[in-house]
Amino acid sequence: MRLKDKVAIVTGGAQGIGRATALLFAREGAKVVVADIQAGPASATVAEIKAAGGEATAVTVNTADRASVDAMVKTALETYGQIDILINNAGILRDAQLLKLTEYNFDAVIGVNLKGVFNCAQAVAPHMVERGSGRIVNASSVVALYGNFGQTNYIAAKSGVIGMTKVWARELGRKGITVNAVAPGFIATDMTKDLPENVLQMMIDKVPLKRMGSAEEVANAYLWLASDEASYVNGTVISVDGGVTT
């Protein structure tokens, strides 16, 4: 097991990519803190992990709120005594063209997708520094690399995540902590299942592999970066997009 005796926080761990990551990490031996703003689905993910023989606990968190994040970290430390891995996966969408994008929806996406990543990393990093090791993996997006219609707020946040990842890799690397990012492409999740068929087909047509990715395929990238196999990988962005950015 690649994460035996490790403790991992997975934000946005109740559904989609986060849920797939929590389940995979538990199978690989990690004790998982399933952190999500949705308490019910988070508890359901934990129940599934426990039913399979794993160890996990659910924490309700709003990553945009620092007090909530600090409480999450406190719970993780009180429950398991350490934090080895942070998967900054929580994210929201509030798409609109520039001329129609409200300040509220701009701030909401920046709050979760950018500030939330900062909040979680800053709250966890001191404990990793004290232990002299750690893995932080941030969720960016393929659209941060080439843009996308109607996603000013989302792309601003996800581009910022890439920048923060590279800064933290330099700052924390000397402390034994690696910081990397994953940039998923078009992934089949709850966020995409209700899209019109013609929109889904347009997305698939852009992918050289001619299919959407699965949440598990992104989780596999998180797993590798969180494991000792990627111990010399720091400050990189791995695209999991079927070749869209090729």
Rounded Cα gap, residues 67 and 88, in angstroms? 17
> What CA–CA distance (Å, rounded) separates 43 from 152?
33
Local structure of residue 186 (DSSP, 8 states): S
8/136 Cα distance (integer angstroms): 10
Q: Which of 80, 104, 146, 154 is catalytic?
A: 154
Instruction: Give the residue from 79, 108, 66, 64 showing the smallest Cα distance to 9.
Output: 79
DSSP 42: H
Residue 177 burial by CB count (10 A; 0-12/13-18/19+): exposed, middle or buried? buried
Separation between Cα atoms, residue 23 and residue 50, nearest integer Å? 10
Report how far residue 126's alpha carbon sits from residue 181's, in angstroms, rounded to the nearest whole number: 20
Radius of gyration of the chain (CA): 17
Instruction: Dig out the tokens for 212 from the structure.
Output: 């959407």
Which helix (H) or strand (E) covers residue 102, if one does? none
154 classed as catalytic: yes
Question: Are the C-beta atoms of 123 and 33 separated by less than 8 Å?
Answer: no
Which residue bears the tokens 């996308």? 148
C-alpha span between 162 and 144 (Å, rounded): 8
Residues with a known catalytic role? 154
